[in-house]
């Protein structure tokens, strides 16, 4: 109850399910996304617009739009709720009573809280009355959200609205796991059909007849075509219990002899089933005939499900549908629609490239990213003490498991599909071993042990008689030629780190796993003390420290000191008043160097190690946290001493390493600054970055490979996914109640019995 009182409330004035309309669905999806990411500090409530609305757990207020007096009364009711800090109105002219919905002005004149609008329709070239109403509404609000840049332009040019009051946020879309349509078709028994589709509440404005009139020509070209018309009829289109428009469409199907090529799915689909139909679609047909339609959710959803599109030219499609994702045709022109459809169906490679392009274009508009943009705007309107903060997503291993074979974890992905041809690396399997060791320590899941064993066996497979390791294994389990000409010192040292991590968990993991790791670790020691690469030294010291933490072997201290002294020598050569670092540049995995120095201090107690660790790390943090926001060192030329740093080109691996180092520094120094910076760094994954986009995929459990200047690299390779997982597990530590030791023993014993160990 106490926690609930601390939450900021936002009241949405809107229609809401079970009402069937686009704005109700939009609001539900937006609120769901906001709740998923921010509900620990935010509570969304509804003021539902309608004549038959009732209060529920979500619907705290109701507004009959046809009763003018209610607008003031409802505003007063909201004013009396001190927890509500913002009112967000979903605006469509037909929702509110009066001329152009001007009853709403009474609400705005009474409400004493910040108000934001989402304008779902922006009508160009308004008459004087319409312009006056819109100007009055906006003059009494703090911000206006629009979903197309064209809408923003119209408000500025036709309504004289100041640019600083308008925020462009695209219509939200659902994240789906990218797959070839052939896989999804199986669940609908559509394997042998070429699927065209459209969806949404049917009405004359959809102009489905345009597609039906084009279909005979399309069928003549592609005989196995099936056109899915998905959705119930809009309630406003049914008069006297007669569905005139659907009846017309069904008669047209009969008249054109299309019964075997058209299927009506006359029902309201839950979102997951709808998205699966779209994922099974080869080509989406968008046939709206409203030339002023500002935005279409159905069009956005189709793009987000990797549908190439043939669309009529309305403002939204003209702005978004570039030629690499689909084709535009004239409104109600079935000949153009047929020609465009045939052109695309004749070129499978073009269809595939358009599908990927459409999918990529809509990542910015995922509901998760749309929620972030809204919350960023809300936070500007409320007291900083009530600031809305990110939730941490659930921990998911789906994508990691999908990428893992009996041999190990595959290196790369094409979006979310493992690219088997990329083979395997020691680097990735070492990191995966660390991640799953952390996961097992926290949750004691039996299935974790199988993954730990797989990744450990891969490291053993890579070790040579000399005790060193190769890094690259191809898809057929052969050593790749790259091992002969690429410096493998860093990857070798990562293996030492991973082995040390496993050995440090000897009280948790099965004995045979620990034994394998110790043998491999000891075989590597002869060359470890001769490592020269600074980052390899850092990784090796981490592994040596973890090994020493449970064995207390004194010879390990000697190796750590030798390596740490190498780093000190580097530091002494390059350190100046304004450059307290080990090299003349910052590249990748920078934080592992001060982290290694702090580990060396913890083992030896030497104060110079600690001093260098703190000075170098504080210097690095000054370059990573810019204007109170975490910024990864750019991989576009890196950051050289005396030269202005490059921007953009940020990778998850460095965020993860920084979080790991901050964890150690906080534990060692008890300085809360490090813990606060750790939270800020992790928020980079959740959207606190220059694009305000999430780097974590909540559907797959994967992490995107990079944050560029204008876009996110949507491939979800092993490195990025594992590094995110390690960071997420570190952030989880404080909230997990560790299972009792006896329970862990039972899990280990059951695993050993099932695997005949």
pLDDT score at 734? 59
| Structural domain includes residue 96 | yes
Q: Which of 645, 640, 632, 661 minimizes the C-alpha distance to 720?
A: 632
Edge-to-edge strand ranges of the sheet holding 8-14: 59-63, 42-49, 8-14, 84-91, 115-119, 143-146, 166-168
CA-only gyration radius of the chain, Å: 30
Q: Which of 140, 168, 196 is the last residue of a domain?
A: 168
Could you tell me the two tokens for 652? 């998850």
Strands (E), 563-609: 585-586
In whole angstroms, what is the distance from residue 625 CA to residue 627 CA?
7
d(CA 516, CA 338): 64
The torsion angle over the Cα atoms of residues 704, 352, 335 and 246, rounded to 10 degrees, is -60
- Residue in 156, 641, 713 with CA at minimum distance from that of residue 414: 713
User: What is the distance between the alpha carbons of residues 218 and 256, in angstroms, rounded to a whole number?
Assistant: 12
Question: Facing residues of 10 across strands?
Answer: 44, 86
Note whether 253 and 263 are within 8 A (CB): no
> 196 and 110, same structural domain?
no
Q: Give the end-to-end CA distance of the chain in Å, rounded to a whole number.
A: 50
Quick one: pLDDT at residue 5?
Answer: 47
For residue 43, what is the domain's CATH number? 3.40.50.2000
pLDDT at residue 2 in the model? 42
The residue written with tokens 């509804």 in the block is 46
Same domain for 475 and 595? yes
CATH code for the domain in which residue 670 is found: 1.50.10.10
What is the predicted pLDDT for the residue at 604? 97
Question: Which residue, 404, 418, 492, is CA-closest to 448?
Answer: 404
| Long-range contacts formed by 561-565: CB under 8 A, 24+ apart | 561/600, 561/604, 562/529, 563/528, 563/529, 563/531, 563/537, 563/596, 563/600, 564/537, 564/596, 564/597, 564/600, 564/604, 564/609
| Same structural domain, 69 and 207 | no
Give me the residue label for tokens 């002969």. 484
Q: Are residues 342 and 474 in the same domain?
A: no
Residues 208, 325 within the same domain: yes
- Verify that 196 and 87 share a domain, yes or no: no
Q: Are strands 143-146 and 115-119 parallel, antiparallel or unpaired?
A: parallel
Please report whether residue 174 resides in a domain: no
* Same-domain pairing of 244 and 127: no
Do both 225 and 130 map to the same domain? no
Cα 598 from Cα 607, distance rounded (Å): 10
Strand order across the beta sheet in which 410-414 lies: 410-414, 417-425, 472-473
Give CA 346 to chain center in angstroms. Answer: 34
Q: Are residues 149 and 204 in the same domain?
A: no
**3-state DSSP call for residue 183?**
helix
Strands (E), 177-333: 194-199, 225-230, 262-265, 283-286, 309-312, 326-329
Tell me the torsion sign for CA atoms 386, 388, 394, 400.
negative
Rounded Cα distance between 455 and 271, Å, is 37
Please indicate, yes or no, whether residues 495 and 619 belong to a single structural domain of this protein.
Answer: yes
pLDDT tens-place string over residues 71-83: 999 999 999 999 9
Taking every pair of Cα atoms in the chain, the longest distance, rounded to a whole number of angstroms, is 90
Task: Label each residue of 351-392 as H, E or C.
Answer: HHHHHHHHHHHCCCCEHHHHHHHHHHHHHCCCCHHHCCCCCC
Quick check: 229 and 208 in contact, CB under 8 A?
yes
3-state secondary structure at position 220? helix
The set of residues, in sequence order, having a beta carbon less than 8 Å from that of 282 and lying 6+ positions away, is 181, 194, 195, 196, 308, 345, 351
In this structure, is residue 249 part of a structural domain?
yes
Angle at 248 between CA 244 and CA 251, to 5 degrees: 140
- 181 in Cβ contact with 305 (< 8 Å): no
- How many folded domains does the chain comprise? 3
Buried b (16+ CB within 10 A) or exposed e, 592-609: bbbbbbbbbbbbeebeeb
Domain boundary among 138, 168, 198: 168
Kindly report the length of the chain: 757
Domain final position from 144, 168, 192: 168
- Of 601, 647, 657, nearest to 627 by C-alpha is 647
> Which residues touch 208 (CB under 8 Å, ≥6 apart)?
198, 202, 229, 249, 287
Q: C-alpha 704: how far from its chain's center?
A: 8
Q: Is 46 helix (H, G, I), strand (E, B) or coil?
A: strand
382 CB contacts (<8 Å, ≥6 apart)? Answer: 8, 85, 86, 114, 388
Q: Which domain holds residue 66?
A: 2-168
| CA distances in angstroms from 431 to 304, 325, 421, 479, listed in the order given | 32, 37, 20, 20
- Domain assignment present for 33: yes
> Is 155 domain-assigned?
yes
pLDDT of residue 740: 53
Write out pLDDT tens, residues 388-406. Answer: 889 999 999 999 999 999 9
Q: Is residue 381 part of a domain?
A: no
**78 close to 111: Cβ distance less than 8 angstroms:** yes
Tell me, yes or no, whether 298 lies in a domain. Answer: yes
Structural contact between residues 111 and 80, judged by C-beta atoms closer than 8 angstroms: no
Q: Are residues 297 and 272 in the same domain?
A: yes
* Cα separation, 237 vs 253, whole angstroms: 19
Q: What is the pLDDT at residue 754?
A: 64
Residues of the chain with pLDDT under 70: 1-6, 734-745, 748-757
The answer to whether residues 148 and 186 belong to one domain is: no
Q: Is there a domain that residue 383 lies in? A: no
Against a cut of 0.75, is the pTM above it?
A: yes
* Cα separations in angstroms, 356 against 194, 260, 648, 701, 715: 18, 30, 23, 20, 11
Burial zone of 693 (CB within 10 Å; 0-12 exposed, 13-18 middle, 19+ buried): buried
């Amino acid at each position: 109850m106490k926690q609930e009182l601390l939450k900021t409330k936002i009241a949405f004035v809107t229609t809401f399910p079970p009402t069937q309309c686009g704005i109700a669905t939009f609001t539900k999806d937006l609120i769901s996304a906001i709740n998923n990411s921010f509900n620990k500090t935010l509570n969304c409530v509804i003021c539902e617009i309608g004549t038959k609305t009732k209060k529920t757990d979500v619907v705290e207020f109701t507004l009959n739009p046809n009763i003018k007096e209610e607008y003031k009364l409802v505003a007063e009711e909201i004013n009396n709720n001190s927890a509500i800090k913002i009112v967000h109105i979903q605006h469509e002219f037909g929702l509110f009573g009066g001329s152009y919905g001007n009853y709403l002005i009474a609400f705005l004149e009474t409400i004493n809280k910040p108000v934001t609008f989402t304008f779902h329709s922006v009508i160009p070239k308004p008459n004087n009355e319409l312009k006056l109403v819109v100007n009055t509404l906006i003059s009494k609000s703090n911000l206006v959200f629009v979903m197309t840049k064209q809408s923003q332009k119209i408000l500025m040019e036709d309504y004289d609205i100041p640019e600083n009051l308008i925020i462009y946020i695209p219509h939200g879309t659902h994240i789906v796991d990218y797959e070839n349509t052939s896989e999804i078709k199986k669940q609908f028994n559509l394997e042998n059909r070429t699927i065209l589709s459209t969806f949404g509440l049917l009405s004359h404005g959809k102009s489905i007849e345009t597609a039906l009139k084009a279909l005979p020509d399309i069928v003549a070209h592609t005989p196995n075509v099936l056109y899915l018309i998905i959705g119930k009829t809009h309630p406003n289109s049914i008069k006297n219990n007669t569905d005139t428009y659907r009846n017309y469409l069904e008669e047209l199907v009969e008249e054109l002899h299309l019964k075997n090529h058209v299927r009506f799915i006359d029902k309201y689909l839950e979102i997951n089933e709808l998205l699966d139909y779209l994922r099974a679609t080869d080509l989406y047909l968008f046939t709206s005939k409203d030339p002023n339609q500002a935005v279409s959710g159905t069009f956005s959803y189709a793009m987000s499900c990797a549908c190439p599109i043939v669309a009529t030219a309305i403002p939204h499609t003209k702005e978004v549908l570039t030629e690499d994702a689909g084709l535009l045709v004239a409104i109600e022109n079935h000949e153009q629609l047929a020609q465009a459809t045939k052109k695309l169906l004749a070129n499978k490679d073009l269809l595939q490239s358009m599908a990927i392009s459409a999918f990529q274009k809509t990542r910015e508009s995922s509901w998760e990213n749309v929620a972030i943009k809204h919350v960023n705007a809300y936070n500007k309107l409320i007291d900083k003490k009530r600031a809305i903060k990110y939730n941490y997503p659930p921990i998911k291993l789906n994508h990691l498991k999908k990428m893992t074979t009996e041999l190990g974890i595959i290196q790369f992905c094409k979006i979310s599909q493992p690219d088997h041809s990329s083979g395997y690396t020691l680097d990735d399997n070492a990191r995966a071993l660390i991640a799953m060791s952390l996961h097992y320590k926290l949750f004691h899941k039996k299935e974790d042990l199988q993954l730990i064993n797989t990744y450990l066996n891969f490291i053993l497979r890579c070790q040579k008689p000399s005790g060193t390791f190769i890094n690259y294994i191809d898809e057929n389990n052969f050593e790749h030629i790259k091992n002969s000409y690429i410096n493998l010192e860093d990857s070798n040292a990562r293996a030492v780190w991973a082995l040390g991590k496993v050995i440090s968990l000897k009280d948790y993991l099965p004995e045979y796993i620990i034994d394998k790791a110790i043998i491999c670790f000891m075989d590597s020691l002869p060359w470890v003390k001769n490592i020269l690469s600074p980052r390899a030294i850092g990784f090796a010291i981490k592994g040596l420290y973890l090994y020493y933490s449970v064995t207390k072997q004194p010879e390990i201290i000697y190796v750590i000191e030798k390596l740490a002294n190498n780093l000190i020598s580097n530091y002494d050569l390059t350190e100046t008043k304004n450059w307290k670092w080990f090299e003349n540049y910052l590249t990748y995995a920078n934080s592992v160097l001060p982290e290694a120095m702090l580990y060396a201090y913890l083992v030896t107690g030497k104060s110079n190690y600690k001093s260098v660790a703190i000075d170098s790390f504080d210097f690095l943090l000054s370059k990573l946290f810019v204007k109170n926001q975490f910024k990864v060192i750019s991989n576009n030329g890196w950051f050289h001493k005396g030269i202005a740093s490059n921007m953009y080109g940020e990778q998850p691996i460095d965020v993860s390493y920084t979080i790991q180092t901050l964890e150690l520094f906080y534990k060692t120094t008890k300085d809360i600054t490090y813990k606060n910076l750790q939270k800020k760094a992790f928020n980079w994954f959740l959207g606190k970055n220059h694009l305000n986009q999430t780097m974590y995929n909540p559907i797959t459990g994967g992490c995107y490979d990079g944050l560029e200047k204008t876009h996110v690299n949507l491939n979800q390779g092993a490195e990025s996914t594992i590094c995110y997982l390690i960071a997420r597990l570190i952030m989880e530590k404080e909230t997990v109640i560790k299972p009792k030791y006896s329970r862990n023993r039972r899990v280990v014993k059951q695993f050993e019995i099932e695997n005949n160990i």
